[in-house]
Structure 1
Amino acid sequence: MIVKKFLKWFDTATVTQRCNATSALARAYAQGRIPAEEGPGVEAALSLIVDDPSPKVRLALAEGLAGAEHAPRSVILKLAEDQFEVAARIIALSPVLSDNDLIEIIANGRMLFQQFVACRSSLSIQVSAALAEVGSRDAVADLMDNVHAPIARISLRRIAERFGDDPELRSRLFERGDLPCDVRQALVERLGAALAGSELVRFAIGGNRSRKITDEACVNATLTLADVVAAEEIPALVEHLRMSGRLTPAFLMHTLCSGNVDFFAAAVVALSGMGDSRVRGILNDGREAAIRALYRSIGLDRDLAPVFVTATLMWRAASRRQAGIDVGSVTRELMRQYASESGQAPAVAELLRLVETLHLNWHRKSSRDYAHALAMEPAAAAA
C-alpha cells in the first residue's frame, strides 16, 4: 500500500522531488531498512525508477544502490548501460556485476567505461586479462596502477605487445618485478629503437652512430638481464633471443667469458636441439673433439669453434681447481693464446676484438672498484 501511494505521487512530482525520494528509497533499501513484506513492492518501484526520463533521478538511484550487494540485478545492469555520470558509480563499485558482466563492458569498447572497470577495488585475473587484450591505452594504464588487480604474466606479455612503444606504459612495465624476463628484453629492444629514431638523439650524435650506440646499449642490457634472470625463466629468455636472432657468436662469447655458464648452456641446448643433460655433460666432461662438434652443431664455423673450445676448457679447469677465475683471467688468456697467430679469419679477428673489449671493460671496472676502496680507507680509519 505504501509503495502504491509512492508511485502515484512519483508520477506527478517534480524532478527535484523525485531525486530526493529516489535517494531516500534506494538508501533505505541498500541499508536493509525496508520491511520484508514491502521488499517486492520496493524492488518493483526501483525497476520503474530506472526508466525515469531525468538522468538526475537515475543518478540518485545509482548512488543509492552502487554499494548494495543485494540490489536487483536487472536494475544494476540497466544502470550500467546508462550515460556516463550514471553508469560510472555502478561499474566502478557495484558488487552485483559479475566477471562476465565486466568483461562484456570491456568488450563493448567504451573507453571511459573500461577505465571504471580497471579502477574497481577488486578484479579477477580474468577481467584483468580482458583489459590487457582489448582495453584502451588509458584503461590499461589504470589497470597497472590498481594495486588490487592481479595481472597474469601472459597478460603482461600482451600489454607489452600492444603498448611497448608507449613510453609511459613501457616505463610502468619495466617497474614491475613480475614482468617475464623475455618480455623485459623485448621492451629493451623497443626502447633502443625509440632512442635510435629520436630526432634529438640523431641530431646530437648522428644517425649511424646513434644506431650503433643504442644497439650496444641493448646488447649490454640484455647481457645484464641474462646474468640476473631466475633459473626458471632462462629457457623463455633464450628462446626469445633465438627467435629474434640475438644469439650471435658475439653474444655467446660475452656470456661464456662472463662465466654465465647456466645461460650459455641453455643457449647451446636451444641452438643444437640436444637435451640439457647431454649438452651439460659435454661442456663439463666431454673431450675437446666432442666440445668442438657441439659448437659446430649450433652453427659456429670451423674458424670460430676453437676459440669457444678454448674458453670452455679454461672455465672447466678453473672450476675443478676451485681457483678464482674471472672475466679478466679468461679474456687475458684468450688474447695471449691467439695473439701470435697470423692470417686469422676475419670472423676470428672480429671475435678477438670483442674479447679485447671485454677485457678492457673488466680492467676499467676493476680499477674503479680499487680506487673506490682506497678512497674509503681513510674514512674507515677515522671512524
Structure 2
Amino acid sequence: MSSLFQLAHRKSREGRAQLYEDVWNLFENDGPTLNDAERSIMTDILRRLSHDVEMTVRRRLAERLAANDDAPPELAAMLANDQIEVAYPILMDSKALRDADLIEIIRHRTLQHQLATAMRSGISTEISDALAATGNEDVVVALLENDSATMSSALMEHLVAESQRVDRYQKPLLRRPDLPKDLAKRMYAWVSAALRNYIIENYRFDPSELDDNVVFAMNDAVRETTGEVESNDPSERLVNKLHAAGQLNIGFALKALRQGEVRLFEFALAKLAELRVELLRRLVYEPGGEAFAMACRSLDMDRQVFLTIFDLTRAARGPLTATHRQERNALQAFYADLDQNDALAVVRRWRQDPDFLSALNQLSATD
C-alpha cells in the first residue's frame, strides 16, 4: 500500500490518471485478498479521482470490467453510477452488479441509465418492478421488449390494464412469450384490428371463445370514449329497464316500429342482438340488407317478421321503390337459406369488431 500513498501525492492530471489506473489494477487483481477496510479505502480513492480522470479512461476500464464476471461489485456499482457513456457497458453486461445497486440506479440516476438497465439481460422481478414504477413509457416499452426480463404476474396484469390507456404497450406485451393467454384474450377488447388478428393467430383461440364479459368490457370502453355511458336518451333508458326486467323481446321492437318509434326500435333490436346501436343502424340501413338479415337470423327471428321489419324500416326513410322490391325478393331467398349458427357466428364477430363488412365478406368466402 506504500506505493499507493506515494502515487496519491501526485498533483498533475497525468499523475491522478496513473493513480486511478494503478488503484484499479490493484483492486481488480488483488480484490479477493483485500480486507473490507482496504476495499473501502480504495473504492473511496477511485470515486474521488473519477472527476479528474478523462471519460475515455473510465470508459475503457468500464468495458474491461463489464467483461469480467468476477469483477468486484464495488467497482461495478461505482462505474454504473458514472455518466451514461461510462455506465452503459456495465449496466448492459456486468454480472457483478447486484440487484440492490441496480434499484438505486433506477431510482436516482438518469433516464438513459433506466433505459440501459431495462435492456439488461435476465433482470429479476424486483428490477422489473422498479423499472415499471418509474412510470416512464419509454422505460416500460424497453422493459416489455426485453424477452429475458422476468416479470411477476401482478406486474403483467398491471401493464395489461395500462395498455388500455397506453397504446404503445400493446404490441410489445402481445409479443412477449410469457404473456398468459387469458391476459391476451382480455386485451382483445381494446387493441386494434391488426393486433386482434395477431392474438387469434398466435394465441390460438377463436373469436367465438370470447366470453360475454370481454365483449361487454369492449362495448363499455367504446361507450366511454363516445360519451354514451349513463345515457339520458329516454328510449335507451326504457329499453334498458325492460331488458333488466326480462320483458324485452322482438314483439316489442316490432310494435315500436309499427307505431313510428324508430329510435325505440333501434335501441331495442340493438339490445337484443347485443350490438352497439350505431352498428345496428348501419346494419339496418346498409344497401342490400344482407347484414341486417344476418342480425335478425341470429335472433332466430321468423322470416315473415324480418321481411315486415325490413319493409317498415325502409318506409320510415321514404316511399318504397322498385329497388326495394328487388332487394326484398333477394332477401327472402337469402334468409330462407341462412343458417342461424352461421349468422350467430358473424354477429359475435361484429360484437368484437365493428368492421362488420370484412366479417361478412369472410363468411362469404367460405361458402
TM-score range, shorter chain: 0.5 to 0.7
Question: What is the distance in 2 between the residues matched to 1:18 and 1:230?
Answer: 71
**Cα pair distance change 1:18/1:65, threshold 3 Å:** farther
Cα pair 1:50 1:61 within 8 Å, conserved: no
**Identical pairs, percent:** 22
SS at structure 2 position matched to 1:185 = coil
User: Which of 287, 301, 312 is the equivalent residue of 1:334?
Assistant: 301
**Cα pair distance change 1:24/1:60, threshold 3 Å:** farther
**Cα pair distance change 1:55/1:91, threshold 3 Å:** farther
Q: Displacement of 1:8 after TM fit?
A: 1.3
Cα pair 1:118 1:143 within 8 Å, conserved: yes
Q: Displacement of 1:124 after TM fit?
A: 1.4
What residue in structure 1 maps to residue 122 of structure 2?
122
**Cα pair distance change 1:119/1:228, threshold 3 Å:** same
What residue in structure 2 maps to residue 182 of structure 1?
186
SS at structure 2 position matched to 1:50 = helix
Question: What is the distance in 1 between the residues matched to 2:223 and 2:198?
Answer: 13
User: Which of 227, 244, 253 is the equivalent residue of 1:297?
Assistant: 244
Cα pair 1:132 1:159 within 8 Å, conserved: no
Gaps of 5+ in 2: 225-241, 255-267, 274-293, 317-330, 336-342, 348-355
What residue in structure 1 maps to residue 99 of structure 2?
99
- Aligned residue type for 1:296: H
**Cα pair distance change 1:344/1:40, threshold 3 Å:** same
Deviations 1:155-204 (A, max 9, x none): 4325525631x4xx54434544625333343233xx8xxxxxxxxxxxxx
Q: How many residues align?
A: 270
Cα pair 2:76 2:96 within 8 Å, conserved: yes
Q: Determine if the alignment matches structure 1 residue 51 to structure 2 residue 29.
A: no
SS at structure 2 position matched to 1:51 = helix
Question: What is the distance in 2 between the residues matched to 1:101 and 1:158?
Answer: 29
Cα pair 1:129 1:155 within 8 Å, conserved: no
Q: Determine if the alignment matches structure 1 residue 131 to structure 2 residue 131.
A: yes
What residue in structure 1 maps to residue 218 of structure 2?
241
What residue in structure 2 maps to residue 321 of structure 1?
none
Q: Displacement of 1:126 after TM fit?
A: 2.9
- Aligned residue type for 2:243: R
Q: Displacement of 1:64 after TM fit?
A: 4.8
For normalisation by structure 1, the TM-score amounts to 0.50
| Superposition RMSD in Å | 5.4
Cα pair 1:128 1:143 within 8 Å, conserved: yes
Q: Displacement of 1:50 after TM fit?
A: 1.6
Residue pairs, 1:347-366, within 5 angstroms? 364-365=361-362
Deviations 1:277-319 (A, max 9, x none): xxxxxxxxxxxxxxxxxx93387734369989x99xxxxxxxx
Q: Displacement of 1:149 after TM fit?
A: 1.0
SS at structure 1 position matched to 2:248 = coil
For normalisation by structure 2, the TM-score amounts to 0.52
**Cα pair distance change 1:55/1:329, threshold 3 Å:** same
Cα pair 1:174 1:184 within 8 Å, conserved: no
- Aligned residue type for 2:166: F
Q: Determine if the alignment matches structure 1 residue 153 to structure 2 residue 156.
A: yes
Cα pair 2:62 2:79 within 8 Å, conserved: yes
Q: Displacement of 1:29 after TM fit?
A: 3.9
Residue pairs, 1:221-260, within 5 angstroms? 228=206, 234=211, 237-238=214-215, 240-241=217-218, 243-244=220-221
What residue in structure 1 maps to residue 239 of structure 2?
none
